[in-house]
Amino acid sequence: MPTSTIKIDVHLDNEKVPELISWAATDSAADMKQQAKAMMLAFWDGAEKSALRIDLWTKEMMVDEMADFFYQTMMTMADTYNRATRQQVLVDELKTFAHQFYHKSKELMEKS
C-alpha cells in the first residue's frame, strides 16, 4: 500500500514559543520545505470519540492574519463537511457564521 508522509518542523525560542513552522510532504510538487506562520492539525480518535488538536502560531502572526486564517479554515471545513455528509443546511450555516466572524473581526480591528 502506498504511503505519504508529512513532516512538520517547529523551531522554538528559549521560552518554547514557535519562531518558525515549516513542513514538507512526500507527495508535494514543492522541492523545498514550505513555511507557515500558523497551523491547525486535528485528528479524530474513533475509539475515544474525541478530537485531538495541535494549534500553533509564530510570534510574527498578526491579528488580521489570524482572522483571515480562521475565516478560510472555517470555509474549508464547511466544504469538507459538505463532501462528507451532503448536509447543505449545516454547510450553509457554517459558511454564514464564517462570514459574520470575518466581518466582525474586521470591524473590531478598525476600532482598535
DSSP state string for 44-59: EETTTTEEEEEEEE-T
The band of 92, judged by pLDDT with boundaries at 50, 70 and 90, is very high
Residues 67 and 47 occupy one common structural domain: no
List, for residues 16-61, the tens digit of each pLDDT value. Answer: 999 999 999 998 888 889 999 999 999 999 999 999 999 999 999 9
Residues 3 and 54 occupy one common structural domain: yes
pTM of the predicted model as reported, rounded to 2 decimal places: 0.88
Q: What is the torsional sign of CA 14, 19, 25, 30? A: negative
Number of domains in the chain: 2
Residues 43 and 66 occupy one common structural domain: no
Residues 5 and 51 occupy one common structural domain: yes
